[in-house]
Amino acid sequence: MINDRFYRRRYVISAIAVGVVLLYVSRLFYLQIIDQSTRDKADNNALLRQTVYPSRGLIYDRNGELLVFNQPIYEVTVITREMGRDFDTLGFCRSLDIDTALFNTRMTAMRKNRGFSRYTPQVFLAQLGKNDVAALQEELYRFPGIGIRKRTLRDYRYNAAAHVLGSVGEVNQRDLDRDAWYSAGDYSGRDGLERTYERELRGEKGVEILMRDSRGRIQGAYKDGQLDQPAHAGTDITVTLDIRLQMLAEELLRGKIGSIVAIEPATGEVLALASNPAWNPRLLVGKERSANYGRLLNDPTKPLMNRATQATYPPGSTFKTLQALVCLQERGITPGTVYPCSGPASSPIKCTHHHGSPVSLTNAIEQSCNPYFWCAFRDMLQHDGYGRQNELFRKRYALWRDDILSFGLGQRFEDSDIGEQSTGSIPSTRLYDKFYGKTGWKAITIRSLSIGQGEILLTPLQLANQAATIANGGWFVTPHLNRHDSLRTRIHHTAVDSVWFPYVQEGMRRVMTNGTGRHHAIDSLHMCGKTGTVQNPHGRDHAIFIGFAPQEHPQIAVAVVVENAGFGATWAAPMASLVMEQYLNDTIARPALRQHMSTTILNEQVQISR
């Protein structure tokens, strides 16, 4: 008879055996079916998931001219876990024509990267040409863990518009932390349009899955590429620039420090946005980008600064056009108001033109009469005796300031796609209260504002928008650079009634027929303009001009600033005239003037990096 105790024990042993089997089965089920990480580790041994980078979107000008395109480049990548102890370092270096010192330096730097992983491809060398990787491509099978990845690099059809187009550079840690789309070694727009429209231009990455053998060698596409995800190219962008006009503007600024901005008044489209000193956009592409950027950054003339949008200047006599409009709006003057040009009326601010008395509004604009605009400014602030009561005077000044601000001055165009903008300044009552106390300032204290000097500071972009607003008769569209952007529908109306603008437009027409701009007018274009010579405490005066043409149906508004050039009529006005002529007539009939403007050097320090 079988021992009953051992007989019963067999059930326990069987249960334990079944339990162990079930445990192993469940564990295998979990590892193979549920736990993705184990599968990933296995797959990583047999498969290589390689990022496929999209082509960056192209950039065209308003007439369909290609401005920015892509050139193929290559990256050498390393998966350090797969290199092995017997890796042929010397042979690898020979295939790339580098020395072992550079190899060690790059490997050390790569391992220090925050996103470094032994299991994924890390960039060893970037931005290589086809010839640079040709030898390695033939012997790639000899170097386990080494890969070659195709990328694209920006290239430029024209040596122009560097400030506007911007550049593309390697992402930094802040980019990686902010946007999971990027990986270490990726590129993104660093400034200009490349930065503003980064998400549109960059496209979408793809994935290519490759099979490897037991030695890590690539055997081809996994499942014939059925599981690959294609990359999607970035969106192409058409900008508002006219590249021929842009190139002319940059040509006219050679050997000078300054900027030229041109706007289409009816749409707010920026036709030209030139700043000098400038550089060849190709300098910030490829392996020499860092060195060239450092050289530009340390240049005392500050070529990286976009003077068209970041530099600020007192507007000088160009501001008299706005002074006239606001004084008319706030009943400080009427269209028939006249003031003497000499005598007691001009004692605080002298006239520089000596054109007799009395002076009417249109004559004052035509001849740029300082005393007229001082008297108009004073009477506007002291309207109905408000000047005798300080609190009422301060309210009148605040009203004047609000009217000026309504032209888009003293502030960034926040709804614009133009980056790197300075605000400028239209001084507030709070500023003067801080310096003089609430009862310590009055019209004569701030008299320099009447002629666009003192604490007023504007950017050339704001000056061009001012000209466009006057051309439109009291409204403007936010200046912008993307031709298909909805910003064109954003119309801003000024606080000045449209009824007053014809008086100022007539005065600006007379500037170009009888006044300081008459030598550079083209009668068939019916130009309107205003010159300015801006006092500069740091050296020679700045030359400024704003204008538009034609008067009846304006198609272009222009602002020109040339630093340390002297009279606006001598330098800024002829440049603006040539820009208008090129855009409206598609040619320039004054080659001698063009050559004179383009070849005359006003600042010896300027060395354009071309």
pLDDT in tens, 425-437: 999 999 999 999 8
Among residues 238, 265, 284, which one ends one of the domains? 238
Domain assignment present for residue 39? The answer is no
- 500 in the same domain as 571: yes
DSSP letters, 316-373, are GGGGHHHHHHHHHHTTS--TT--B-SSGGGGSSS--SS---S-B-HHHHHHHT-HHHH
- 267 in the same domain as 198: no
- 290 in the same domain as 174: no
- 194 in the same domain as 270: no
More confident residue, 216 or 531: 531
Q: How confident is the prediction for the chain on average, in pLDDT?
A: 88
pLDDT band with cut points at 50, 70 and 90 for residue 595 = very high
- Model pLDDT, residue 288: 84
- List the structure tokens of 477: 């569209």
Among residues 176, 210, 238, which one ends one of the domains? 238
Domain assignment present for residue 259? The answer is yes
Q: Which residue has the tokens 């042993």?
A: 13
For residue range 216-263, list pLDDT tens digits in order.
566 677 777 778 888 899 999 999 999 999 999 999 999 999 999 999
Ramachandran angles phi, psi of 470, nearest 5°: -65, -40
Domain assignment present for residue 401? The answer is yes
Q: What angle do CA 167, 415, 474 make, to 5 degrees?
A: 125
Residues 444, 381: Cα–Cα separation, whole Å: 10
Domain assignment present for residue 15? The answer is no
- Model pLDDT, residue 121: 82
pLDDT band with cut points at 50, 70 and 90 for residue 510 = very high
pLDDT of 610 higher than 70: no
- Model pLDDT, residue 434: 93
Residues 340, 338: Cα–Cα separation, whole Å: 7
Domain assignment present for residue 28? The answer is no
Residues 62, 481: Cα–Cα separation, whole Å: 10
Query: What CATH number does the domain containing 355 carry?
Result: 3.40.710.10
Query: How many domains does the chain divide into?
Result: 2
Spatial contact of 325 and 501, defined as CB atoms under 8 Å apart: yes
For residue range 189-222, list pLDDT tens digits in order.
999 999 999 999 999 999 888 776 665 566 677 7
- List the structure tokens of 475: 């409204």
Query: What CATH number does the domain containing 181 carry?
Result: 3.90.1310.10
Domain assignment present for residue 283? The answer is yes
Q: How are beta strands 258-264 and 556-562 bridged, if at all?
A: antiparallel
Q: How are beta strands 237-238 and 59-60 bridged, if at all?
A: parallel
- 263 in the same domain as 164: no
- Model pLDDT, residue 189: 92
- 307 in the same domain as 225: no
Burial class from Cβ neighbours inside 10 Å (0-12, 13-18, 19+) for residue 386 reads middle
Domain assignment present for residue 24? The answer is no
pLDDT of 395 higher than 80: yes
- Tallying the residues shown for the chain, one arrives at 610
- 273 in the same domain as 192: no
- 281 in the same domain as 135: no
- 261 in the same domain as 172: no
Residues 417, 482: Cα–Cα separation, whole Å: 7
pLDDT of 50 higher than 90: no
Asked which of 20-24, 45-49, 527-531 is least confident by mean pLDDT, the reply is 45-49
Longest dimension (CA), the chain: 144
> How many C-alpha atoms does 420 have within 13 Å on its Cβ side?
21
pLDDT of 2 higher than 70: no
For residue range 471-486, list pLDDT tens digits in order.
999 999 999 999 987 6
- Model pLDDT, residue 345: 59
- List the structure tokens of 555: 């198609």
pLDDT of 130 higher than 90: no
- 255 in the same domain as 220: no
- 135 in the same domain as 283: no
Residues 236, 413: Cα–Cα separation, whole Å: 24
Residues 273, 460: Cα–Cα separation, whole Å: 9
Residues 444, 451: Cα–Cα separation, whole Å: 13
Ramachandran angles phi, psi of 559, nearest 5°: -130, 135
**Structural domain that includes position 117:** 48-238
pTM summary value: 0.86
pLDDT band with cut points at 50, 70 and 90 for residue 389 = low
Among residues 177, 205, 238, which one ends one of the domains? 238
- 325 in the same domain as 183: no
Domain assignment present for residue 351? The answer is yes
